[in-house]
Structure 1
Amino acid sequence: MSPTTDTALLVIDAQESFRQRPDDWAATANPQVFDNIALLVAHARAAGDAVAWVTHSEPGTGGVFDPDSGFVRVVTELEPRADEIQVTKTTVNAFTSTDLQRQLAARGIGRLVVCGIRTEQCCETTARIAGDLGFVVEFVTDATTTSPIPAGPGYAAVSGDDLMRRTESVLGAREFATITTTARRVRAAAAV
């Protein structure tokens, strides 16, 4: 089914790979991420928006992001439809190693709603690149999550919550994206 609006929901890396790192996943900053993504997906479909599913792959590594592991697939709580965009990336952002930009352009998409896993990494980087490519970007922070970063050589520890707040500040204040919540996104779009 073709979208009837110029908006696409980008669901980034909501994949089983992350749950295969139990200690990391147990520390996720937003345990409700999949519930919020499911609400956004249902709303996007009802509104006639496109839905694009992005997974991350690291072929040949033998880890949980290696396609041979069987975990490079959308989590069981979420179900992509056959007619929705599905790409697998090998870079941090969703554009550089995929044909996502071409697929969005073919559908007349000019506005992107970004959600998924890791707030400050793949989601933020995709939002920045999308802005550079000319898309209007909404970033739904409570439909993203990340895990804390432990201290390392030359850098301090940062909590997952702090990473999420920092991403909101950087994207919002620097005008890379409009920052919103799942509830606001669903309400605002329903009012249009």
Structure 2
Amino acid sequence: MNRALVVIDVQESFRQLPDWEFVSEPNIVRQVNRLVAAARAQGELIAWVLGSRPGSGTVFDPARGYVRLMEGLAPLAGEPVITKTAHNAFTTTNLHQLLTTKDIRGLTVCGIRTEQCCETTTRIASDLGFDVVFATDATATSPIPHRDAPADLPFSQLVQDPRTLGVADIIARTEYALAGRFATIRTVDQLVGG
């Protein structure tokens, strides 16, 4: 089966957010590069995906200059870099067409955020008929404040709120939701060897 590695939103935008200090996988670039090296060695396609919100004025607005891969990540010639404006990597891009044109039926998903863009892409990919592996420790997320938390509190205070969902809980919930339904859960070591 032809496979592809889909690297989602491992971009400088996230390093500009106040929650980056609390990220689950500060070595996300290293983890992604391990998967990239293995995928290249196997002759697999690598699709790089960037999240963009044009005109928003946020760090996801391309005009701000942060919608670019994190330092240390470098696509090779022929590896597509795709920009999306939705949470998943399919809806607002030509990713599905690109994959099916190359007869790719298996995907490995990694990137930022575990429970948001990575999980959503995984679910859609599964619905589209792809065999998906979710590289759990090559994803990253940050704590999620409770929906009723005051919006004006600094993030350093929000993480102290016992209602804030911690990264370990977010990752576990994502793994439970995806495993056996939408994807196979694997670590980078399991995928490329320790």
Which amino acid is 2:7 matched to?
V
3-state SS of 1:144 partner? strand
Aligned length, in residue pairs: 181
The match for 1:171 among 148, 162, 178 is 178
Which amino acid is 1:108 matched to?
D
Which amino acid is 1:151 matched to?
H
- 1: CA distance, partners of 2:112 / 2:173: 15
The match for 2:97 among 80, 93, 102 is 102
Deviation at 1:152, TM superposition (A): 2.3
Q: Which residue of 2 aligns with 1:112?
A: 107
The match for 1:28 among 20, 23, 32 is 23
TM-score (normalised: structure 2): 0.90
Deviation at 1:33, TM superposition (A): 1.6
Q: Which residue of 2 aligns with 1:75?
A: 70
- In structure 2, stretches of 5+ residues that fail to align are 150-162
Kindly report structure 1 stretches of 4+ aligned residues shifted beyond 3 Å: none
Which amino acid is 1:85 matched to?
P
Identity among equivalent positions (%) equals: 51
Q: Which residue of 2 aligns with 1:185?
A: 191
RMSD between superposed Cα atoms in Å: 1.4
User: Structure 1 residue 137 and structure 2 residue 136: aligned?
Assistant: no
Which amino acid is 2:171 matched to?
M
Deviation at 1:161, TM superposition (A): 1.5
- In structure 1, stretches of 5+ residues that fail to align are none
Which amino acid is 1:134 matched to?
G
Q: Which residue of 2 aligns with 1:37?
A: 32
Deviation at 1:187, TM superposition (A): 3.3
3-state SS of 1:116 partner? strand
Q: Residue 85 of structure 1 contacts residue 103 of structure 1 at CA under 8 Å; is this kept in 2?
A: no
